Each structure stands twice: as C-alpha cells, then as structure tokens.
Chains A and B, each alone.
Chain A
Amino acid sequence: MNAPSPAPVVSAETLSLWYGSFRALNGVSFDVTHGEIVSLIGPSGCGKSTLIRCMNRMNDAPTNRIEGKLHVSGYDVQAKGTDVLALRRDVGMVFQRPNPLPLSIRENVLFGVRLHAKHLSKAESEALLQESLEDVGLWDQVKDRLERDAETLSLEARQKLCIARLLPLKPRVLLMDEPCSALDPDGIGAVEELMDRLRGRYTQIIVTHNMQQARRVSDRCMFMLMGELVEMSPTASLFTTPRDERTARYIEGRYG
C-alpha cells in the first residue's frame, strides 16, 4: 500500500510562515524523495523547527499565517479539508527531549495504532510491538519488562522508544527535531545507527546543530538562514564545495 511513488514525498513551493507579523519562513521550496535522509542545518532561530513542524501541522495556532504550497505524503498539508489526523499518522515526529508517554513500554509503542486502528487483535498488536522494538534495536533489552513504565528507561532508550512508537503506523516520513541533543556520545551513535538502519524504508528529515552528524547520516543537506533555504545539496558536496557563499561561511563556523 505504501509502495514508494516516483513523485516526491515532501514538496514545498514558496512556503512562507508568519508568527503574527514576524516572518519565520521566507519562500522556501524543495523536494524530498522517498527513503532519503535529509538533514536541516542552520543557526539558532533560522526556522528549522518551524519548517518541520509545518509538515505535520504542529504549527496550527490561529495567529500563524502560512502561504505557498506544501505537499507531504500525498496530502495538501495546508488545504482546508485535509485530514490532519491521517496526515499525522503518515508523518511522525520525534522531539528534542525524549517524551515517552506516562504509560508502559508496551502501551507507548501501541499508542498510535490504538488511536488509528480501532480493532486490533492481540496477535496483531503483539507482532507490531515486537517488530517496532526490533527495528529500533530495543527488543532484547525490554522484552521482559514491557509492562514497566517507559520513564524507567535510559535517555537513549527512551528516544529510541519515541521512534519505535511511530513505526506501527507505517509512516512515510519521520521528522526529527534535534533528536540527539539530549543524549551522550554513546546515545548519539546508537540513534545515528538506527537512522541508518531505517534509511530507504522511511523518509527522514533531521534537524541538527551538529554538522558532523549531518555529514555522517544524511544523503542531502539543507542549509537555512533567517527563514530562507539558502542551499540544498548532496551532503558531501554541501560540505566540501558549497554553492553559496553563505553556506561556506556557516560551515567554516563564522555564524553563531
């Protein structure tokens, strides 16, 4: 059902966003094809979080105004009749601080399917549970304590759980807003490995402040500055031969 289509899975056309009168996104256009990992870098406040929050409508405050076109996983994101809940099923989000729900490990993983698939047999849910936890490499660690509170896990395991809970919904896009910034080096390594394992099956868009991380994990990299998308290139070429002067200055460390 989710066979990758030739059309881009994310496509933005002159997308702009205003918080009140402040313009946080300024005519951003880009495409992402299914299965690739795209990293999003840029100085603090340049609009990285704003951009990825648009993609699953987490920016819906009435004072925010959006112009331009944004299609994600076949949905016209900003259109009036768009089924936001269905969009969010297809487009999962991972946050900066791991935020498992105050439920057991099992219920955390199955939370999404319980919302969207009303009738789920015990066997089906157990299979989804195991598959998702195996995908993120947590199964062996937690299979004997699935009823334990998710908050008893280590920070790294909690972040993996936050990724695992998106998988039973068979999403097409995973949005990750600085998913490693609360983790120690071991945790960062483990989560990067996980991203790599999920490459191809899911489209991953990763905001990061860590340029080394962007180089390690992403196929393509976007550089943003003051609400504008300055450049989007294959990661290797963005870091070695940036097309834009501003990108060059940023990766040399001349902005904050």
Chain B
Amino acid sequence: MSIHRRTRPAASVYAEKAIEVVIHLCGYSAILFIIAIFGFIGREGIGFLSTHIVGMFTQTSWNPTHDPADFGILALLAGTFWCVGLSLLISVPIGLGSAVYLSEFAPERTREILKIVVELLAAIPSVVWGFIGVMIVNPMLQALGAQVGLNGLNGAIVLALMTLPLLVSLGEDALRAVPDSYRQAATAMGATRWEMVWRVLMPAARRGLLVAVLLGVGRAVGETMAVLMATGNSVRIPTSVYDPVRTLTATIAAELGEAVRGGEHYQALFGLGVILFIITFFVNLIAEWTLRGNRST
C-alpha cells in the first residue's frame, strides 16, 4: 500500500487533498450559513429590538405605518402560538395514532403503501396547502357556522396537515426503534396489543416521540405562506377559534414588500425575524437535548 502510494502521480495526490478540503468546507459551511443568516437578520433587527423592546411587549397594537407607529407584537405572538397550539391538538393525536398503526398494527404491504403516501404528503408545497385552506377548509368552516372561514382554526387545520407527515414518520421511527424483546415480554405476560402499546412502547419511545412533536412545532412556527393565506390576516388576540389572526411569519411576508428599505418599519420586520429565529432555535435546541438524553441512557 505505502509503496504504491509514494509512486502515485503528484496530480492525483493534490486532487485528493483538494477534495478533502472541499468536503471539510461543506461541513463547516452549515455553521457559516447559520452565522451569516443570523448576522444578516440581526444587523437590521437587533438595533430596532434594543430601542423598541419594551414597546413591543407592552403596546397592544401593531400599526407600523401610523404616526406615531405602534410596534406591539403580543397579538402576533398570540396568533403564532394560537395557530401552532391548536394545530398540535389536531396533529399530535392523529400523527402519533398513525405512527402506532403503521409500526404495530398495519400489515407489511399496507405499511409500505401508507409510508409512500405520507412522504407524498410531505412534498406538497406550502402554497398548495394555502389553497386548500382557502378553497376547501374555508367553506367547510363557514358551513359549520364561522362568519369568516379564513381564521385561526383554518390556519391550525392547514398547519396540522402540513406537520402530520413529519410526526408520522419520525414517530414511527421512534416506535420501531423499541427493541422487540419488550414486545415479547409484554405479550408473554398477557398484555393485549393496546396494553403493550400504551404501557410499554409509549414510555419506551417517549423521547423519540417528543422529538417528533418538537420538530413539528418548529416547522409549524416557521411556516409562512399557508398560514398567510388561511388565517384571515387580522392582527388581534384571539378569543374564539373562529377569530381571524395573524402570525409573526405572515406579518413579515405580507409587509416586507411595502416597507421602505432601511426605514423603521423595515427594521421592525427584521426584529420580528430575530424573535422568530430565537423561538425556533430554542424549540430545536430542546429537541436536540431530548435526543441526547436518549442516547446517554
């Protein structure tokens, strides 16, 4: 080996070195991108946050173009958490239920087909989900008595549908990672399949399932186009599921085009971006910690 290596042409040795360097750069580029993105958003947003932070959390209204402008983000935060929270109420039971079905109950063939369908679901673009919110969920909610069909509940339903594939496939992975010996032990003691799922698999896979939910939350918090189309875009703190709301992301997307570059409004939107970034960063961090804990035990 070593003899062969020494006699190789210099060009090939250099090529190998170059490839190695490129691969290293690719690895580090992820970190670079994160820093660059945060730097870009932060440069515009942090200055604004440092001067307006108190107002953002004490003023109740978001009127960035008024004179004087109001930059209260409580209603926007409420809109985001309202939609995400409601969507979890829908997606977690359905998603984990499907994961249990796929991993424990479905015959092999059904399982394979359903997994493909779930993956297809994940490939549907955000804007198409927005359409579904406007064209399908909207009239359905009106038929159920909502005055405005584009509202928080509509956004939540669309978000739930969008996060389901993630929940199902990560949840299924978590359940299938539970060793078969646990299933055998429970079965041999006279547990029914449901008792086995509920008393053994759920606790055994709890961290993996929690990670699935957290990553779903991260995805839902950051989702923009579909909620922009489905929520009705009205800045307010919701008191009913039929109230239209507006999320942080929808605000940025809707207003960035009309904000004067470098102006106060423009900077305020970047401030929202920083807050959004912090929220998703922490959600993902908690998911990562949960996963770590899993490995160490």
A interface, CB within 8 angstroms of B: 56, 58, 84-89, 92-93, 95, 97, 99-103, 111-112, 114-116, 149, 151, 162, 165-166, 169
20 pairs of residues in contact across A and B, judged by CB atoms under 8 Å: A58-B187, A58-B188, A87-B190, A88-B187, A89-B189, A97-B181, A99-B181, A99-B185, A101-B185, A101-B204, A102-B203, A111-B186, A112-B190, A115-B189, A115-B191, A116-B190, A162-B185, A165-B189, A166-B189, A169-B189
Instruction: Quote the shortest CB–CB distance from B243 to chain A (angstroms).
Output: 43
**A20–chain B nearest beta-carbon distance, Å:** 16
Are A101 and B190 in contact (CB-based, < 8 A)?
Answer: no
B203–A93 touching, CB < 8 Å: no
User: Can you name the residue of chain B whose Cβ is closest to the Cβ of A83?
Assistant: B190
Q: What's the nearest-Cβ distance from chain A to residue B260, in Å?
A: 58
Q: Which residues of A contact B204 (CB under 8 A)?
A: 101-102
- Shortest A12–chain B CB gap in Å is 19
Docked-complex contact A95 and B190, CB < 8 angstroms: no
B199 close to A (CB within 8 Å)? yes
Cα A93 to Cα B189 in complex, Å, equals 8
Given A86-B190, A101-B200, 9 other A-B contacts at CB below 8 A?
Answer: A56-B188, A88-B187, A88-B188, A97-B181, A100-B185, A102-B182, A102-B203, A102-B204, A103-B200
Say if the beta carbon of B288 comes within 8 Å of chain A.
no
**B200:A85 contact, CB within 8 angstroms:** no
Nearest residue in A to B179 (C-beta to C-beta)?
A99
Scan B225-248; emit 1 where CB is below 8 A from any A CB, else 0. 000000000000000000000000
Chain A residue at smallest Cβ distance from B183: A99
Nearest chain B residue, comparing its CB with the CB of A113: B189
Which positions in B face A, CB cutoff 8 Å?
A: 179, 181-182, 184-192, 195, 199-200, 203-204, 297
- When distances are taken between beta carbons in the complex, the residues of chain B under 8 Å from A93 are 188
Most chain A C-beta atoms within 10 Å of own C-beta, residue among B182, B189, B203, B204: B189
Bound-state Cα–Cα, A158 to B189, Å:
16
CB-based contact B189/A112 at 8 Å: yes
Q: Which residues of B contact A95 (CB under 8 A)?
A: 181, 184-185, 188
| Inter-subunit contact A115/B182 (CB<8 Å) | no
Bound form: Cα–Cα A115–B190 in Å: 8
How many Å lie between the Cα of A151 and that of B204 in the bound state? Answer: 12
Which residues of A have CB within 8 Å of B200? 101-103
| CB atoms of B182 and A99 under 8 A apart | yes
Q: Which residues of B contact A165 (CB under 8 A)?
A: 189
Tell me the complex Cα distance, A99–B183, Å.
Answer: 10
B189-A99 in contact (CB<8A): no
List residues of chain A with CB within 8 A of the CB of B181.
95, 97, 99
Q: How far is the CA of A100 from the CA of B204 in the complex (A)?
A: 12
B189 to A92, Cβ gap below 8 A?
yes
- Tell me which residues across on chain A come within 8 A of B297, comparing CB atoms: 149, 151
Shortest A62–chain B CB gap in Å is 10
Q: What residues of B have a CB within 8 angstroms of the CB of A87 in the complex?
A: 190
Report which of A86, A92, A103 forms a contact with B188, defined as CB distance below 8 A. Answer: A92
Min CB gap A112→B, angstroms: 5
Task: Determine if A115 and B195 form an interchain contact, defined as CB atoms under 8 angstroms apart.
Answer: yes
CB-nearest residue of chain B to A99: B181
Residue in chain B with minimal CB distance to A102: B204
CA A111 – CA B181 in complex, angstroms? 15
